[in-house]
Amino acid sequence: MKLVLFDIDETLIDSAGAGSRAANAAFRDLFGIEEAFAGIPMAGKTDLRILKEGLTAHRLSADNGNLSRILPRYLAHLEREIQTPCRQIKPGVTDALAILDRMEHVLLGLLTGNIERGARIKLDPFGLNPVFPFGAFGDDHEDRDRLLPIAVQKARERTGAVVDPKDCVVVGDTPADVRCARIHGAVAVAVATGPYEEDALVRTGAEHVFSDLTGAMAFFEGLQP
């Protein structure tokens, strides 16, 4: 049994900045700070880590209930921001998922820094939620490197399948996606559909690097026993 885990932002979809706009709006509502996340890199990080960095940057505490206040505001704004007509699904995603979904020995899941509710909000307009019945999310653990074992456990709880980490494939667009695969012995598939070019992703040591998921079709076909 293989477990193929997908990142969301810039791997499956382009939300056209919905997440960052929602985070900025939440900080504006609660703290009166405009563009609170300007200059704070978000790619590859969990939502909780991003929000904590935002609080720290503005000398606000993350230990006095601020996070629990921010999250519902963030999600409410995200529900609206994701409705932008500029959102789009990334090249090759539909065909790649169709290939994998046909394989009885392949399970599909998510491995994302998004908190679960945020992930579902982002995927819903594209009709992708039914494709990914489970996953590991940013509210499962703040450290992205800890998410793969959580995804494996959730796959077992959901399907009964026992999957070794070395039989997992992590698909993402950042060095953080590659790292969280490699430290657990999983296969890393990197796509240059986000902020990193192919050369930068090759240097991460990813086993497979593609310009987008269109180029990954042969690799996914090769998962067929």
Task: Report pTM.
Answer: 0.94
Say whether both 6 and 63 belong to one domain. Answer: no
31 plus 138 within the same structural domain: no
Give the domain-ending residue among 32, 53, 81. Answer: 81
Asked if pLDDT for residue 12 goes beyond 80, the answer is yes
Whether residues 122 and 43 share a domain: the answer is no
How far apart, in whole angstroms, are the C-alpha atoms of residue 106 and residue 103?
Answer: 5
75 and 96 in a single domain? The answer is no
Residues 9 and 116 in one domain: yes
Indicate the angle between helix axes 66-81 and 18-31, nearest 10 degrees: 130
- So what's the pLDDT on residue 135? 97
Give residues with Cβ within 8 angstroms of 2, minimum separation 6.
Answer: 103, 105, 106, 107, 163, 167, 168, 169, 223
- For residues 165-194, average pLDDT: 97
One-letter amino acid at 74 equals: Y
Q: Which domain holds residue 139?
A: 2-15+87-221
Res. 225: pLDDT tops 80: no
Residue type, 131: V
Number of domains in the chain: 2
Asked if residue 6 and residue 101 are part of one domain, the reply reads yes
- Mean per-residue pLDDT over the chain, rounded: 95
* CB atoms near residue 20 (< 10 Å): 19
Residues 77 and 91 occupy one common structural domain: no
Residue 195 token pair: 């902020």
Residues 51 and 136 placed together within one structural domain of the fold: no
